Amino acid sequence: MLLQWAAVQLTDHLAMPHEEIASLLEIPPNPELGDAAFPCFTLARTLKRAPAAIAEELAAAVTAGGGAIRAEAKGAYLNLFFQRETWAPKLLSPVLLPDFGYSQQGAGTRVIMDMSSPNIAKPFGVGHLRSTMIGNALANIYRSQGYDVVTVNHIGDWGTQFGKLMEAYARWGDEEKLKAAPIRESLQLYVRFHEEAEQDPSLEENARRWFWKLENGDAEAKRLWQYFVSFSMEEFDRVYARLGVEFDYTLGESFYNDKMGAVVDLLKADRLLVESDGAQVVRLEEEGLPPCLILKSDGTTIYPTRDLATALYRRNEMGGDLLLYVVGGEQRLHFQQVFAVLSRMDEESAAQCRHVAFGLMKFEGRKMSTRRGQVIFLDEVLDEAVSKAAAIIAEKNPDLESAQDTAEAVGIGAIVFGDLKHNRMLEVDFSLDEALRFEGETGPYVQYTAARAFKLLERGGLSLAEAESRSLSGAVDTASLQHYLAGAAAWESLKQLASYPEAVLEALRQNEPAVVARFLLDASKRFNRFYHQERIITDNKEETDAKLLLAAAVAGVLRSGLSLLGLRTPTQI
């Protein structure tokens, strides 16, 4: 918001559109260098003068123009200093509004968000967390900007892995064990299959035969498949409920079985399919990619076939304008191939597809592998996080009401935030103890800061709803804000809060929830600096009222940002 206002101040002095000025403005790394900075390098090319000379001339012109802004030249940069007494009330009033940071820029655009997508009959492990929570955060961010978001859980309920599981069950399965602990027993069968297959290659052929039977309607294969699907979905739904994640549609790969024939027919009609070693492929040499396998030599389908059918369905039947696939970076080649084939079939649909990739997650140095049985069950990690959070809260606030519910919010929030604060393309080595710290760059730190702000409001007798109402009605005492929020700590906190809309828009532009997470950490640090440097509840009613309005702005923005990331905001911790 401040950068937008800075752009307005510069419009009269620069022969550039407002939008271009705003895009060039920066936040200086040091507050002593001003509240906004404009680099003059671009102007040097058109004006044929040194950037430093241009900065000097602009500084004199801006300062002379008034507007409660002082300008200084620092090398090639024009640094702008906003007069705090004038601008603090202008910053605070919109920040207090309940829809601050929200917009309707995406109205009329439907986004189909493919996220989570675990495989049937396999554990919901820590490795599934990234797709689930990155996708959930992005869905919230897109919705906040007016987009019509449709979330889809593309369950892995088809493919040769079911043939492997059926072969393993036929050889070593125990129905009583499977009923008692279906996910764990399925995992053991799956692991044993791969161990035994290393010594007996015929198992792989038998597995392919089982899948062929499933695709061709064999009664026993279908019965086993339906059983595996039913108990897996019960487990998944329980974990999703705990994470606070919901889906508009849960459509397994099997949903597209009757739609793949049309894809194959289209490829044949366009003469894109060619035979390769008995299989049917689309050659992609022109794109610098290996051939995309569409039909295996036995005539069964494979992932690309289903993903092509899925993309066309989401575009044509679900009305998607933008198709986002929140899937690990190891699938980059797969999506490059699928999008390349789709481009030849339907160029417009392919142009709307985006692979939102992310890096690998390790858990305290351990890489996870379902085939090897190296799976860390997410439910167990959530239990441990909540238990540790409960112990910390009991020590900090032994009389806290609803302590268990708060521990659930903090413990699960710590895990989610501990992931989302990282750039999604980075490899994450997750440490539970580090994520649960109440200081540093953690979710509990942000939640605790929000709770601190809510506690101040309670002590001062001001509700967040009342603060919002006063902003909406214009009943904010401008004079007291000018006087009591002009200090360096209050001004820096207020400036950070005012940049919330830009942070949300940048997160959307990059498809990167970490932008919001980093904003929340910075906002928390700046408010805590203000909290420790100044008394907020004082004997002076006007001073207390002004400072409580800042606390209300902090509480509201932190709650909004945490909600976008999928975290709850306890008002007491």
- Give the per-residue pLDDT at 408: 96
Domain 431-565 grouped into CATH 1.10.730.10 = yes
The tokens for 210 are 């089982």
What was the pLDDT predicted at 373? 45
Joined tokens for residue 185: 């027993």
Q: 462, 550 in Cβ contact below 8 A? A: no
Taking 70 as the threshold, does the pLDDT of residue 370 lie above it? no
Is residue 480 over pLDDT 90?
A: no
Which helix (H) or strand (E) is 324 found in, with range? strand 322-326
284/89 Cα distance (integer angstroms):
59
What CA–CA distance (Å, rounded) separates 150 from 320?
9
pLDDT of residue 170: 92
**Residue range 202-243, pLDDT digits in tens:** 999 999 999 999 988 999 999 999 999 998 998 899 999 999
pLDDT at 368: 47
* pLDDT tens sequence across 396-416: 999 998 999 999 999 999 999
CA gap 247, 237 in Å, rounded: 10
Q: What Å distances lie between residue 236 and 122, 124, 385, 414, CA to CA?
A: 10, 7, 19, 21
Neighbour-count burial for 278-293, b at 16+ CB within 10 Å, e otherwise: ebbbbebeeeebebbb
Check pLDDT > 80 for residue 300.
Answer: no
For residue 517, the tally of other CB atoms under 10 A from its CB is 29
CA distance 158 to 303: 9
- Asked if the model's pLDDT at residue 296 lies above 70, the reply is yes
pLDDT over threshold 60, residue 386: yes
Q: Is the model's pLDDT at 366 over the cut of 80?
A: no
Average pLDDT over residues 526-535: 96
Question: Mean pLDDT, the chain, as a whole number?
Answer: 92
SS3 category, 81: strand
pLDDT of the residue at 120: 86
Which three-class secondary structure state does DSSP give residue 71? strand
How would you class 102 by CB atoms within 10 Å of its CB: exposed for 0-12, middle for 13-18, buried for 19 or more?
middle
pLDDT tens-digit readout, 39-62 = 999 899 889 999 999 999 999 999
Does residue 308 or residue 362 have the better pLDDT?
308
Q: CATH 3.30.1360.70: does it fit domain 2-82?
A: yes
500-to-344, 398, 459, 494, 558 alpha-carbon distances in Å: 41, 34, 26, 10, 10
Phi then psi for residue 377, to 5 deg, are: -65, 125
Q: Which of 267-281, 321-335, 461-475 is predicted with the least confidence, judged by mean pLDDT? A: 461-475
Confidence check: pLDDT of 371 > 50? no
**195 CB contacts (<8 Å, ≥6 apart)?**
none
> Which whole number is the average pLDDT over 276-296?
94
- Report the percentage of the chain scoring pLDDT > 70: 98
Q: Look at residue 372 and tell me whether its pLDDT is greater than 60.
A: no
pLDDT at 364: 67
Structure-token pair, residue 341: 């084939």
> Which of 365 and 333 is assigned the larger pLDDT?
333
Based on the number of CB atoms within 10 Å of its own CB, is 201 exposed (0-12), middle (13-18) or buried (19 or more)?
exposed
* Residue 168: strand, helix, or coil: helix
Domain edges within the chain: 2-82, 115-363, 431-565
Angle at the Cα of 474 from the Cα atoms of 468 and 476, rounded to 5 degrees: 75
Nearest to 134 by CA among 511, 412, 408: 511
Confidence (pLDDT) at 125: 79
Class of domain 115-363 (CATH, top level): alpha beta
Lowest-confidence pick of 134-138, 288-292, 375-379, 563-567: 375-379
pLDDT at 488 (0 to 100): 93
pLDDT at 503 over 80: yes
- Three-state DSSP state, 273: strand
Highest mean pLDDT among 133-147, 154-168, 430-444: 133-147
Sole residue written with tokens 């019965």: 223
Q: How far is CA 136 from CA 100, 133, 240, 245, 410, in A?
A: 20, 5, 11, 7, 18
Residue with tokens 């400072």: 547
